[in-house]
Structure 1
């Protein structure tokens, strides 16, 4: 009389459970990564009696009719780079603030951004609060 074991071990490995876990992790990370917005934190900063750090900035404005202004002074587009270089001549860490009208073609704003990158200036795009 030969008795056979009822509990035979199956030597095959099923990948279906592993793929289920991988897809669940993928969905989890895709959903949680879209919920993270580090730049949108609304925090109330503490106050200080120390003076604010004075940073050398220069405001460049582009109006709807494509006129350029440097610190509210009208400048021809061809003279813009030389005017900025004259202003930032002896400043270590210059910053440009670009105030472009929202109706202008993007190429005019990109020209100013390109000018800033060519001369190693920091550039900030000014926006209006809601």
Structure 2
């Protein structure tokens, strides 16, 4: 007996639904992502009793941790390097924003302010959390 070979069905893999799902996931993740400004130190800012919010566009951020470690624009420093680092970023148009942890020693903040005065920085702000 002579059997005829069956005609084979051509199988395709339809990728369009898979691409749709991938794009929907991409859009979902793009919409649910939060963007946070990274800082070099974990600093818990003190709460303000009063005052106004100042929006400074051009700032140099000096962070002071609870342990007394300094970070200028994300670069870790010790107190001996503070004056040289402030001299390297000194710009009369920029404000120096000091973000000191609420549990940091006050002497560390005074040391930072003295270093800024020594360099000639006249625009200085202290960062706090807004009043509730």
Q: TM-score, normalised by structure 2?
A: 0.52
Structure 2 counterpart of 1:112: 112
How far apart are the structure 1 equivalents of 2:52 and 2:85? 37
Structure 1 counterpart of 2:101: 101
The 5-angstrom pairing of residues 30-45 of structure 1 reads none
- List runs of 5+ in structure 2 lacking aligned partners: 1-49
Say whether the 8 Å CA contact 2:63–2:71 is kept in structure 1.
Answer: yes
> How has the CA–CA distance of structure 1 residues 124 and 79 changed in structure 2, closer, same or farther, with 3 Å as cutoff?
same
Q: What is the CA-CA distance between 1:127 and the residue it aligns to?
A: 0.3
How far apart are the structure 2 equivalents of 1:119 and 1:95? 13
Q: What is the CA-CA distance between 1:95 and the residue it aligns to?
A: 1.7
Q: What is the CA-CA distance between 1:54 and the residue it aligns to?
A: 4.4
Q: Secondary structure at the match of 1:118?
A: helix
> Which of these two proteins has the greater Rg computed from alpha carbons?
1
Aligned length, in residue pairs: 80
Q: Secondary structure at the match of 1:65?
A: coil
Determine whether 1:127 maps to 2:128: yes
Q: TM-score, normalised by structure 1?
A: 0.53
Runs of 4+ in 1 over 4 A off after TM superposition: 39-42
How far apart are the structure 2 equivalents of 1:118 and 1:41? 27
Q: What is the CA-CA distance between 1:80 and the residue it aligns to?
A: 1.1
Q: Which has the higher helix share?
A: 1
- List runs of 5+ in structure 1 lacking aligned partners: 1-38, 43-51
Structure 2 counterpart of 1:4: none
